[in-house]
Amino acid sequence: MKELHVGIVGATGMVGQEFIKILDQRHFPVASIHLFASDKSAGKSVTVRQQKLTVQETSEDSFKGLDLVFFSAGTDVSKHFAPFAARAGAVVVDNSAAFRMDPDTPLVVPEINPEDCEHHHGIIANPNCSTIQMVVVLYPLHKVNPIKRVIVDTYQSVSGTGLPAVEELKSTSRAVLDGKPAEPHVYPHQIAFNMLPEIDVFMENGYTKEEWKMVTETRKIMHAPDIAISATCVRVPSLIGHSEAVHVEFTRPMSPGEARRILTEAPGVKVQDEPTAHVYPMPWTAAGQDDTFVGRIREDASHPNGLAMWICADNVRKGAALNGLQIAEAMMERGWL
């Protein structure tokens, strides 16, 4: 099998680190690995496959000879450097929001629309974490019974913000337990034992960008521009793993049993749905797993064509690094990389 020269921009971040781990776990055919980060992290040493690699500062000339570059260093870094990587001949898988809604950039969840990768212009966008885990579950149902409307409320872990936020949740939780003040630095308010209905910045229409990503990205990935979607995205005090309460309206009624049958066969999805035995998805148990977990599947009591459900996934893995690597795998399988 062809071995690839792989670059990782944002190699010292939470998603970059997870990407390195998953490269190994999935035996991805790597010829060489090149780690990039900001000047702050350049010079750091990172162990990859028992080998110590030095992190280099990302520059416009970093990408010569690379086949695949995974970007996870924020929107500004991607906007500036990803085109250089693409021009150098690499396929970029970009975890930021920079190119997701660009009509020329495929936005891909490999279980759903891998064929969208074919007509890329050097950059493939990795969707937002909260979108990925929702569409992986909704798409197999949508294929059978087209979805008309989705209402989703999220319970998103601090790992979605990054390592400093994980540290902040831990330190402020300890402070609260010790009866000490829990000053926030990463978040605008205390996250320990609290809920913040603010993820990403607010838009004119009162939604956050995070919420709006769930609207626009879902439509683009599923090729379903007419689905009506509303979301409330909430940061909650969990470490890893996002949860979502989802209410779906289909074109026709769908029984919970039918949905469970479809989802049992769906790629990347695991049904955990024996509620009376306390079996349902939870962020704590989804953490570290590749699958997206769905349970609490029941008729939506407010609509004859509705189902309600509860979805959890590891936002750092399937919500980011794993989905990115699966994009590369899907392209290799098809000879596009």
Minimum gap (Å) between residue 301 Cβ and its own copies: 5
The answer to the question of residue 146 lying near its own copies (CB under 8 A) is no
Q: Are 148 and 248 in contact (CB under 8 A)?
A: no
120, 142, 242, 247: the catalytic one is 242
Nearer to its own copies, 65 or 284 (CB): 284
Tell which positions 187-246 bind its own copies, by CB under 8 A: 188-190, 193-198, 202, 205-208, 215, 228-230, 232, 234, 236-239, 243, 245
* Bridge partner list, 311: 244, 294
Catalytic, 312? Answer: no
Q: Residues touching its own copies: how many (CB under 8 A)?
A: 59
Taking the least distance from each CB to its own copies, the nearer of 194 and 289 is 194
C-beta of 93 vs 196, nearer to its own copies: 196
Considering beta carbons, is residue 120 or 142 the nearer one to its own copies? 142
Type and span of the H or E element at 25 = helix 14-25
Q: Choose among 326, 241, 327, 245: nearest CA to 284.
A: 241
Decide whether 15 or 196 has the Cβ nearer to its own copies: 196
Gap between the Cα atoms of 63 and 116, Å rounded? 24
- Residue 261 lies near its own copies (rule: CB under 8 A): no
What's the number of CA atoms in the CB half-sphere (13 Å) around residue 174?
Answer: 5
Is the Cβ–Cβ distance between 262 and 226 less than 8 Å? no
- Other CB atoms closer than 10 Å to residue 263's CB: what's the count? 22
Q: How far is the CB of 198 from its own copies (least distance, A)?
A: 7
Nearest to 126 by CA among 336, 259, 320: 320
Active site residue 129: yes
**Shortest Å distance, C-beta 150 to its own copies:** 7
CA dist 146 and 134 (Å) reads 15
List 129, 233, 247, 312, catalytic entry: 129
Select 1 or 201, whichever has its Cβ closest to its own copies. 201
Q: Is 149 in the site for its own copies (CB under 8 A)?
A: yes
Q: Which is nearer to its own copies, 5 or 303 (CB)?
A: 303
State the Cα–Cα distance between residues 170 and 192, nearest whole angstrom: 8
Interaction residues for its own copies, span 46-85 (CB under 8 A): none
Residue 146 · residue 323 · CB < 8 Å: no
Q: Tell the smallest beta-carbon distance from residue 266 to its own copies (Å).
A: 20
Residues 248/300, Cβ–Cβ less than 8 Å: yes
Give the separation between CA 166 and CA 170, rounded to whole angstroms. 6
Instruction: Scan residues 104-123 and list those touching its own copies (CB under 8 A).
Output: none
Q: How far is CA 329 from CA 59, 114, 140, 255, 300, in A?
A: 26, 10, 21, 34, 37
Q: How far is the CB of 196 from its own copies (least distance, A)?
A: 7
273 to 332, contacts with its own copies by CB under 8 A?
A: 275-276, 278, 280-284, 295-303, 306, 308, 310, 312
- Residues 6 or more apart whose CB falls under 8 angstroms from that of 152 comprise 134, 214, 229, 230, 231, 232, 244, 245, 246, 247
Q: Which amino acids are annotated catalytic?
A: 129, 242
Task: Using CB under 8 A, list all residues that contact its own copies.
Answer: 149-151, 153, 155, 169-170, 173-174, 177, 188-190, 193-198, 202, 205-208, 215, 228-230, 232, 234, 236-239, 243, 245, 247, 256, 275-276, 278, 280-284, 295-303, 306, 308, 310, 312
